[in-house]
Amino acid sequence: MNIIGVGPGDPELITVKAVNAAINSKFIFYPDVCGGKSRVAYDIIKNAVRLSGAKELPEEMFLPLEVEMKRSNGRNGDLYYKNAIKIIEKLKEGTCSYITIGDPMFYSTYYGLHNAIEDIRSDNFLKSGYELDINIINGVSSLHYALGLIGKPYIIKNGAVFITVPIKKNSAEIEREIRFIADKYPRPQVIVFMKAGAYVKDILSAFKRMYAAALTEDRVKLYLIEKSKLVNDFAERDCLDFDYFSILIGVFV
């Protein structure tokens, strides 16, 4: 079984190894969010195979797996368990691949699937000598892509990078995380807020409360990446409601 990272959204940024693994699969499973309204990984792999010059993959190869994201109703535990069973059943017919945006080992839907597979193993579902060999195929993460959009090599020797997710954190917790990296030396020091969309206003307010002068003097720089694009002057906008997957990066220079 292949776990394939298809990159941040640009089909030209998927690896050759990932494309080859997809082409040689019997079935390709992909996360189906919001009842088919969001099939990002599916679209990426289809376009990447097309760009490679290979024959277009038949639609019957692709099998959706329902997952909850953004707005969760607490069903993911049950969904991932059912999805894992679906994949294991299909593995009896040949090699299967599960595709996920970015890198499967970095804030991806593979986390829930991995845990479900481990639960099934512990429940003795895989028996009679049946082995499940999992092959991780890394992809370009959204963080690396975001740093490329910024275009400045802030992450260097002796610097620190603090990666966090602001979901369900209050203002005090966000401030504490910012202060943790701000107190580090030598410069630059970087804090990365993944999945920052609904919390951009809170994060921005925290920076302004604590480091207003540093922001004015460009000793602290803030960057926002939304839908694979660098958003200019986002701090001056009246509306600070951004996509769930948006990344906010703060740099103490």
In whole angstroms, give the CA distance from residue 8 to residue 142: 5
- What pLDDT sits at residue 241? 80
- C-alpha span between 253 and 249 (Å, rounded): 12
In the structure encoding, which two tokens stand for residue 55, read together? Answer: 């024959």
Q: Give the separation between CA 180 and CA 210, rounded to whole angstroms.
A: 12
Q: Write the pLDDT tens digit of every residue in 131-170.
A: 788 999 999 999 999 999 999 999 999 899 999 999 999 9
Q: For residue 102, what is the DSSP state?
A: B
| Gyration radius (Cα) of the chain, Å | 20
Residue reference for tokens 């040949």: 94
pLDDT recorded at residue 76: 75
**Using CA atoms, how far apart are residues 195 and 71, in angstroms rounded to an integer?**
12
Backbone φ and ψ for 210, nearest 5 degrees, come out as -95, -30
| Section 74-95 average pLDDT | 89
Tell me the per-residue pLDDT of 86-115, one tens digit each, with 9 for 90 and over: 999 999 899 999 999 999 999 998 999 999
Does pLDDT of 183 surpass 80?
yes
Predicted confidence band of residue 128 (pLDDT cuts 50, 70, 90): very low
Q: pLDDT tens for residues 195-249?
A: 999 999 999 999 999 999 999 999 999 999 998 899 998 988 877 788 888 999 9
Amino acid letter at 21? Answer: A
CA dist., res. 229 & res. 145, Å (int): 10
What's the full length of the chain, in residues? 253
Say yes or no to pLDDT of 66 above 50. Answer: yes
Report which of 135, 143, 130, 56 is spatially closest to residue 99, judged by C-alpha positions.
135
**68 Rama sector, left if φ>0, alpha if ψ -120 to 50, beta otherwise:** beta
What does the DSSP assignment read for 6-32?
-BSS-GGGS-HHHHHHHHT-SEEEEEE
CB 99 within 8 A of CB 105: no
Give pTM, 2 decimals: 0.89
Structure tokens at 216: 């004015």
